Structure 1
Amino acid sequence: MLTVRNLHVYYGAIHALKGVSLQVEEGEIVTLIGANGAGKTTTLHTLSGLLKPREGEILFQGQNIAGMAAQKIVALGLSQVPEGRRVFANMTVLENLELGAFLRKDAAGIKEDMEKVFVRFPRLQERIKQLAGTLSGGEQQMLAMGRALMSRPKLLLLDEPSMGLAPLLVKEIFSIIKEINAAGTTILLIEQNAHMALSIAQKAYVMETGKIVLSGPANELAQSEEVQKAYLGG
């Protein structure tokens, strides 16, 4: 579904991504783990069109989307749930969800997807008229995920979904990620909580200073001494 080849991205003179290559197959959960500043968010921003690569290819279902406008990439079926949730604080829960579907014209499909979001996140339905800025961190994370799902993505990019959440909520968010995947959405997940990410992913990539330094089946990487030392506190 997604093939990234030799991606180079710069912030001015800073070489942020140095030849990143990775692959996501349809139906998979793939995780990208690494320390803060390794280049994980830069990778997602480049995939979703917020940053333009200086070099490299991003093939989404065979089409090169490198440097394409962000809204065109969403229309093709690739949506991002940004780090820090980024909900529209002065708009209601309902308005935030409607914005997720702003590129769509199929009223019946939008209504159906809205109902699916409320089945998956009942708390959002309870707070449908509430301003998004007044929700708790966990509820805002659910809203950010629901909003992305309203664009009916084929591939969902999740950036640090567990950040700042209580352990019980982290478990809930991860079980929802598994459900979303089981219902047919492919997922690329960036996560500081490497232990949780490796427990639900099929494949994993480890990133350090703008490069992929390790990759393989998630369960094998979870057992690797190098990964345990660096990311799992082992």
Structure 2
Amino acid sequence: MLEVRDLCVSYGAIKALKGISFDVDKGEVISLIGSNGAGKTTTLHSVSNLIHKVSGTIKFEGEDITNLSPDKIVRRGLIQVPEGRRVFANMSVRENLEMGAYTRNDKDGIRSDMEWCFELFPRLKERINQLSGTLSGGEQQMLAMARALMSRPVLLLMDEPSMGLAPILVDEIFNIIKKISSSGTTILLVEQNAYKALSIANRAYILETGLFTKNGPASELINDNAVKSAYLGG
């Protein structure tokens, strides 16, 4: 579904990505794991063409989208849940969800998908008319995820969904990610909580200072001594 080849990105003299290549197959949950500054968010922004790439190619469902504008990438079903939630603070929960569906005109489908979002995130239904900026951090993360789902993503890019959340909310968010995956949505997950990310992923890539140092089935990496030592506290 997604093919990234020899991707290089620089910020001035700093080489953020140094020729990484990876694939995401339909129906998978793929995790990118690494410490702060490893290049995880840069990878997602490159896929969505939100930043300039020095070199490399990106194909989505067989189409070269390397230089496609971000809005056209969204219309092809490649949707990102950004780091830091970035909800529209002065708009209500309902209005944020409607913004997620701005590329669509199927009113019945939009209504149905909004109800599905409320099944996944019951608290959002309770706060449907509340300004998003007044929600808790966990509720804003739920809204950011629901807003992305309103676009009917083929591939969902998720950037640090557990950041800043209490442990009980982290568990809830990851349970919902599993439900989204079970519904048929392919997921590329960037996450610092390596244990949680590996526990739900099919495969994972370990990113260190712009290069992949390991990759493979998540069930193997979670038991890898080097990965345990560096990322799992073991």
- Give the shorter-chain TM-score range: over 0.9
Report the equivalent of 1:147: 147
* TM-score (norm. length: structure 1): 0.98
After superposition, where does 1:18-167 map in structure 2 within 5 Å? 18-167=18-167
RMSD: 0.7
Q: CA deviation at 1:106?
A: 1.3
Count of paired positions: 234
CA–CA separation in structure 1 for the residues paired with 2:150 and 2:14: 35
Q: Map Cα deviations across residues 57-115 of structure 1 (whole Å, 9 max, x no partner).
A: 11110111112111100100000000111111111001111110111111111111111
Name 1:4's counterpart in structure 2: 4
Is the contact between residue 79 and residue 155 of structure 1 (CA under 8 Å) also seen in structure 2?
A: yes
Instruction: Look up the equivalent residue of 1:112 and give its one-letter code.
Output: S
The answer on whether the counterparts of 1:92 and 1:128 sit within 8 Å (CA) in structure 2 is: yes
Question: Shift of residue 12 of structure 1?
Answer: 2.5
Letter in 2 for 1:193: N
Ranges of 4+ aligned residues in structure 1 off by more than 3 Å: none
Aligned twin of 1:15: 15
Distance in 2 separating the partners of 1:63 and 1:51: 19
Code of the residue aligned with 1:104 in structure 2: it is R
Moved more, 107-116 or 33-42: 107-116
Deviations 1:144-177 (A, max 9, x none): 0000001000000000000000101100000000
SS of aligned partner of 1:124:
helix
State the SS of the aligned residue for 1:223.
coil
For normalisation by structure 2, the TM-score amounts to: 0.98
Offset of residue 119 of structure 1: 1.0
Amino acid in the other structure paired with 2:43: T
Q: Distance in 1 between matches of 2:103 and 2:13?
A: 35
Q: Look up the SS of the partner of 1:213 in the other structure.
A: strand
Structure 2: runs of 5 or more not aligned: none
1:52 positional shift: 2.6
Work out whether residues 52 and 66 of structure 1, in 8 Å CA contact, stay in contact via their aligned partners in 2: no
| Greater Cα offset, 134-143 or 47-56 | 47-56
- In 2, the alpha carbon distance for the partners of 1:69 and 1:177 equals 27
Structure 2: how far apart are the matches of 1:29 and 1:165?
21
Q: Percent identity?
A: 65
